Structure 1
Amino acid sequence: MPRIDGDMSDWEIVPEDYIYGTDLLNDTEDGMGTDIPPEDLDVKVTIGWVKGMSRIYFKYEAYDDFWDFERFNPKGYLNDIFELVVDGDLSGGPFIKNPMYDQDELKWDPQTDAYIENHLNFSGVHAQNYHIYTPPVNNAWVLVWGSQPWISEFPRANYAYDFDFEHGESGTLQLEGWITPYDYAPHDGPQRAIESKLWENKVIGLSWSILDFDGGDRDGHVNLAHTVRMVSNASYLCSFKLMPLEDQFLEPIKAAWTYKVIDEEKGIVAFKDESVGKIDQWTWDFGNGDSSLVQDPIYRFEDKNVRTVITLEVKGPDGSSKRTRYWEVMIR
């Protein structure tokens, strides 16, 4: 798990083949295609996740021949921007402008550059768009293109920068941070929000674009999805698989398990082994004197409304490991 502190050294363990470079980007709006001169803009992006947490980590490293970040614009667009878009449950479809609304009947809000009803009821609710300022001098760190600015606040997001250039100069910027993807992110705050659940090998929608200003009009709008429609319609995002840890970072053997109550009335629970390593023996202790040697047992609890203490012990050529969970498997 990287520390979000502006020191990028903890990203050095990430292999080169996990890094997305400028050669994968396409300037579909301004006509440059994939011919993006590295002396003008050169980008490296690394994406990560941590098992058990609803966070997408990112590192953005970019060389720009002209960093633009001191001009004022009420809409907040005249700034170099790293635009990150995520669809945590791969639901797809538009998420900024709702085609089901009659646009002629909605009220336009010049401050948000959106229709009021459309903005509150639809924008950013099932997929989220982050306009991240690079760097955020005299500015918020991000403009959320949606109706839920609360998603950019800690502990739902975090960020840190490292750069040493002034406005108008060339140089390299490094940004690290994490965001929380949401299956449902209403405008009125996180109380009713539903975080996207992340697990190994899950596929999510994700992409990014870079808005490059050079002191005047926009110099380029390059993106990973090769279409600018990715910024408002999740169906155009790229598919990302959440990969498990590389073998070099795994413990030789470690017990782990999950469960699902499949019949609460009868007290039937399905247990699933998720241990790591070479394993040839599983021993389950259900906390009531009963046990099982099956890897993925289905067990019926006769007694209900009890606080269970359940342990899985695994053994293999590299040793043994136990995992106990207290009071979690509840049968009412």
Structure 2
Amino acid sequence: MKKILSIASILALGIMLQASAVSAHVPIPGIDSGTLFQWPAGLEPTLDGDLSEWDIVPEDYYVPFDSHYEYYLGLGHENDESNLSFRVVGSWSAGTNRLYLMMERFDNLWVRTGFGQTAAGDDSWEIMIDADHGGDRHFALPDDFEDDEERQRNQGRFAQNAHYVWPEMPDANRAVGGKWLFNSQSTWHDKPPWGDYGFQLDGEVNSGEATARIEVMTIAWDDFYWIGPDESLV
């Protein structure tokens, strides 16, 4: 089924960056705070879509499927696991200063055509990170700044919203694969050492049931500047 999957609990998790019970500085209605697992130094996951390394994570760190609130169709918590089901973990490594996110997701149809508007119209994982807890908007509107340069400077500056779309598709409209940072001209943010991912799909795209195994590594930027990492602040 064509859908954009936005994990509400991850929105709260991603802004805290610590392995203890947390609450956001700027509360988001309907989104509960959670707990990030902290990786022991040297045991951070290899990003290849093999989730066996995540077996070290205790079960109570997982974001369960029944926490998902469906906004787009207005279904709320009336979730049908024969259509979509998943489990998610948010984690952090003090050694690498990186966030690591994992999703194991069943879908009755994994859509990947590369056409459409939001996230190329395909199945995606949308993650928002507000590292400094400021509640800043993740995009700038045309009327917010007088010139284009200043507007682009403030796209994703203090909070970043990304659509992750797989498998990669070079000819896709807008979201070609990996991490599409909303409205930003950045071309480096999803490349190691700043970002990376692992993806495996049991099943075929656009053809029946499939289970995706996804790993994401990303920086949590306090002040992101699309020009490059040397101009940005972690």
TM-score normalised per structure 2 = 0.71
Corresponding position of 1:165: 203
Given that 2:47 and 2:197 are in contact with CA atoms closer than 8 Å, whether structure 1 keeps it comes out as yes
Matches within 5 A, 1:118-133: 119-133=151-165
2: CA distance, partners of 1:65 / 1:75: 20
Structure 1 position 122, deviation (Å)? 1.4
The residue aligned with 2:121 is 78
Q: Give the secondary-structure state (helix, strand or coil) at the position aligned to 1:194.
A: coil
Over the matched positions of the two proteins, sequence identity in percent amounts to 27
The structure having more radius of gyration, on CA atoms, is 1
Residues 171-199 of structure 1: per-residue CA shift (max 9 Å, x gap): 2100012100111111211121101xxxx
Residue identity in the other structure for 2:197: Y
Change in Cα spacing, 1:118 to 1:27, as seen in structure 2 (3 Å) is farther
**What is residue 177 of structure 1 aligned with on the other side?**
216
Please show how residues 177-196 of structure 1 align to structure 2 within 5 Å. 177-195=216-234
Counterparts in 2 of 1:58 and 1:75: CA distance versus 1, 3 Å: closer
Residues 1:30 and 2:67 aligned together: no
**Residue matched to 2:178:** 141
**Pick from 101, 124, 127: which aligns with 1:58?**
101
Aligned counterparts of 1:42 and 1:140: Cα–Cα separation in 2: 22
For structure 2, the 5+ residue unaligned runs are: 1-43, 171-175
Q: Which residue of 2 aligns with 1:68?
A: 111
Stretches of 4+ moved more than 6 A in 1?
Answer: none
Aligned residues: 184
Please say if residues 98 and 122 of structure 1, whose CA atoms lie closer than 8 Å, have aligned partners that are also in contact.
no
Shift of 1:78: 1.1
Higher RCO (C-alpha under 8 Å, 6+ residues apart)? 2
Question: In terms of mean alpha carbon deviation, does 173-182 or 47-56 score higher?
Answer: 47-56
Q: CA deviation at 1:99?
A: 9.0
Deviation at 1:118, TM superposition (A): 6.5
2:57 maps to 1:14 = yes
In structure 1, the gaps of 5 or more residues are 107-115, 196-332
